[in-house]
Amino acid sequence: MLGQAPGPEREEAPGGRRRLWLAVLVALAVLAGAVLAVPRWLEASEPVAEAAASRSLLTRPSDTVTTTTTVATTTTVAPTTTAAPPTTEAPAPPAAPRPPARATPKKGVAVWGNMGDLGHALTDVGAAWYYNWSANPSGGADGASEYVPMIWGANAVSDGSLARAKAAGSVLLGFNEPDFGSQANMSVEQALDLWPQLQATGLRLGSPAVAINAAEPGGWLDRFLSGARDRGLRVDFIALHWYGSDFSDAAVGHLRNYIEGVHDRYGLPIWLTEYALIKFADGGSTFPSDAQQAAFITGSTAMLEGLPYVERYAWFALPTPDDGSQGTGLYRDATTPTPAGVAYRAAG
C-alpha cells in the first residue's frame, strides 16, 4: 500500500504496547500486595494485645497461651506454683462437755445442812441466788451465788440476827410459814408488831411466806397485808410456798393459777421461795417418779421465767434428805445431781 512504513517499523509497535502493559501489571501487583498485607498485620497485632490485657482473667496456673501471626510469635507461660502439702486427717474431736448450767437472775435454791463444796453445787446447778432460812450465809458457798437472809420466826427477831442479816445481803425474807403450828407459828398481830424491826434494816423486804391459801380473803396473809397497810408498814414483794399433789402434766397449770391469783389480789411482785411436787399425808409423804418430777421442773421453770411479775423462784431443795432418800433434792452431794437436779440445771 502506497504511503505506509516498511514492515519492520510496523512490528515495533506491538512490542512497546506489551512492555507498557507489563509495567501496569507490575504496578497493580505491588499495590495488591500492600493492600493484602494490612489485614494480615491487623489480624496479628489485635489478638496479641487482647491476650496481654485479659490473661490474668482467662488463664489458670497450668495454662500456656501461644499466639502465632505472620508478624510475630508470642508465647506466655504462667508462673509455676508449688503444690500444697498433702492434708492429714484431723484428730477426732474430744467428747462433748456437759451442757453448762443456766444461771438466770430468777433461778435459786433452798439449802440446808453442810454439802461440803456447796459453792460447786450452786455453780453447777446454775443458781443465781440461795437462802437457808437463817440470817447467816451457809459455809462453803464462797460467794458462788447471791445469799438472801431470812428472819425465820419471832425468836429470830433480835439485834444480833438483824445486824447479821443486814451485813449479809440486800434483801430480807420475812417469817417462814407463820400460819403453820409446826413452823414459825405466829399470829397476824404478833407478826405485825415485830415487823417494824425488820423494816428498820433498810433492806428490801419480802412478806411472811404462808404455807397455804395466800390469796384467800380473810386468810393469814390477807389479814397481815391489810394490817400492814393500816399501820403504814412496808412490804416490797410477796413470798410464796407451793407443793403440788397432782403429779400429772396439769401440775404446771395448777401452780400458775395459784401465783396468778395472789398477784391479782395484791398487785405485788412474787418470789416463789419453796416449791416442788410432794403429796403430804399422815402416813408419810409420796413423791412422783423421776420422769414426772423432771418434766414438772422443765415446764414450771419455763412458766416462771415467762411471768414478768415473778422476780425469783427457788426449788425445795438443793440437797437430798439426811436419811439418804432422794425426796425432792437436786444433788446427792456437791457433785452428783439427781434426775431432778439434771433437769433444774438445764432450766432457766
> What confidence tier does 91 reach under pLDDT thresholds 50, 70, 90?
low
Which of the listed residues 55, 77, 99 is the one where a domain comes to its end?
77
Residue 101 resides in a domain: no
We report the CATH number of the domain holding residue 195 as: 3.20.20.80
Question: What pLDDT does 94 receive?
Answer: 56
**Same domain, yes or no, for 287 and 341?**
yes
**Same domain, yes or no, for 152 and 204?**
yes
Residue 113 resides in a domain: yes
Range of the domain at 236: 107-346
Q: What is the pLDDT of residues 205-258, one digit of tens each?
A: 999 999 999 999 999 999 999 999 999 999 999 999 999 999 999 999 999 999
**Same domain, yes or no, for 138 and 241?**
yes
Total domains present in the chain: 2
Q: What is the pLDDT of residues 158-175, one digit of tens each?
A: 999 999 999 999 999 999
Percent of the chain topping pLDDT 70: 72
**Same domain, yes or no, for 159 and 225?**
yes
Do 240 and 214 form a contact (C-beta atoms < 8 A)? yes
Q: What angle do CA 181, 182, 183 make, to 5 degrees?
A: 90
**Same domain, yes or no, for 39 and 135?**
no
**Same domain, yes or no, for 135 and 27?**
no
